[in-house]
Amino acid sequence: MPPLPYARHAPGSTAARAPWHLPPAMHRPLTRLSSDAPLLHRFIHSLADWRLSPLPTSWKLAHGLVKAPRSATVLVNGEHPLSLSLDAQTEWRIYQGVHEQAGLFLASRLAAFGGLCVDLGAHIGLHSVLLASLVGPGGRVISFEPSPPVRERLLANTRALPQVTVLPWNEVRSLDELPEVRTPRAIDLLRINGAGWEPKVFEGAPELLRSHRLQALLMEVGPGFVQPGLLVPLFPLKQYALFKVLVPPSRTHWRLRPALAPVDLQRADNTRFHLLAIRRECIGRVVDLMARG
């Protein structure tokens, strides 16, 4: 797919304008196991990107033949190491290559080289490391993780990436108060994984939401998370297109990619789903993912 020539920023925005190019992540798997992982495990991890086999069964058989180590390293976007402790369920799913694949794929479409991204609820840094690899050394990734032990892991995983700033828990009051966010630059992606504290994020960001600098938002909504109705006045349809990220994804170009279906937040049913809100002038980044019919 060729680069899409469209403006990255809203009319009148003070953010610097720059063409957006297809990121290198589109040409290779977003994650792969490092060479010290068992060869069989590396092979099955690679299948997650292609969905060529029933992965739960494959992993059960593979683990029976070759035990997984207690710790491992996954390479994000080809080269950036992320350390895993396989005693944790989420990190075991990262090792398998099945954790938040749709979110990773969309993040790789939305981050721009030299851009600014914000990752709230960054966990050990899977998305932050991916975003850092995409924005490059001239970009910025602002990461936040409220759990002190997990934040230490996040710091360790991003230490070699100077473009990543990990915010301390006790210094985070609101997005509008953060110097890293109070800039004229557009925010290419705001990713929120807050498990319930998302409303506080929006309460603390009225200036950001009014400024038209937020290009895209990716988050989970529904029971236990933010209710869809809360977002209706924050993302007016004249400026933003709203999509439900469909899982399982649809097959395109031999690989399985997430599909996007328009969603009316005022009529959304009481189920959990991932929401993508994207400014209409940026929709070219994901137009090929829109569900047909």
Is 199 contained in some domain? yes
Residue 123's pLDDT band, with cuts at 50, 70 and 90, is: very high
Domain end residue (candidates: 53, 69, 96):
96
Domain co-membership, 275 together with 186:
yes
Domain co-membership, 107 together with 92:
no
Question: The domain containing residue 179 runs over which residues?
Answer: 100-289
Mean pLDDT of all residues in 155-169: 94
Domain co-membership, 86 together with 115:
no
Among 38-47, 75-84, 209-218, 282-291, which stretch is predicted with the lowest mean pLDDT? 282-291
Contact 124, 157 (CB under 8 A): yes
Is 238 contained in some domain? yes
pLDDT over 70 at 249, yes or no: no
In Å, what is the CA distance from 263 to each residue of 84, 134, 227, 241, 259? 35, 28, 14, 9, 12
User: How far is 115 from 131, CA to CA, in rounded Å?
Assistant: 9
pLDDT of residue 54: 54
User: How far is 174 from 183, CA to CA, in rounded Å?
Assistant: 14
pLDDT of residue 170: 64
Torsion angle of the four alpha carbons 232, 234, 239, 244, in this order, in degrees rounded to the nearest 10: -50
Burial pattern 156-186, b for ≥16 Cβ within 10 A else e, equals: ebbeebebbbbbeeeeeebbbebeebeeebb
Mean pLDDT of all residues in 129-133: 98
pLDDT of residue 227: 79
Contact 18, 5 (CB under 8 A): no
Is 166 contained in some domain? yes
* H runs (alpha helix) in the chain: 39-47, 55-65, 89-96, 101-110, 126-135, 148-158, 198-203, 206-210, 228-231
Q: For 65, which DSSP code?
A: H
Closest C-alpha to 106, from 284, 209, 257: 257
Domain co-membership, 129 together with 82:
no
Domain co-membership, 88 together with 106:
no
pLDDT of residue 250: 53
pLDDT of residue 129: 98
Domain co-membership, 152 together with 266:
yes
pTM, rounded to two decimals: 0.85
Mean pLDDT of all residues in 184-198: 85
Residue 183's pLDDT band, with cuts at 50, 70 and 90, is: confident
User: How far is 223 from 201, CA to CA, in rounded Å?
Assistant: 17
Domain co-membership, 78 together with 173:
no
Give me the number of domains the chain comprises.
2
Contact 91, 70 (CB under 8 A): no
pLDDT over 50 at 42, yes or no: yes
Domain co-membership, 90 together with 142:
no
User: How far is 127 from 176, CA to CA, in rounded Å?
Assistant: 22
Domain co-membership, 110 together with 204:
yes
- Which of helix, strand or coil describes residue 30? coil
Domain co-membership, 154 together with 36:
no
Is 2 contained in some domain? no
3-class SS shares of the chain: helix, strand, coil, % to 5:
35, 25, 45
Is 20 contained in some domain? no
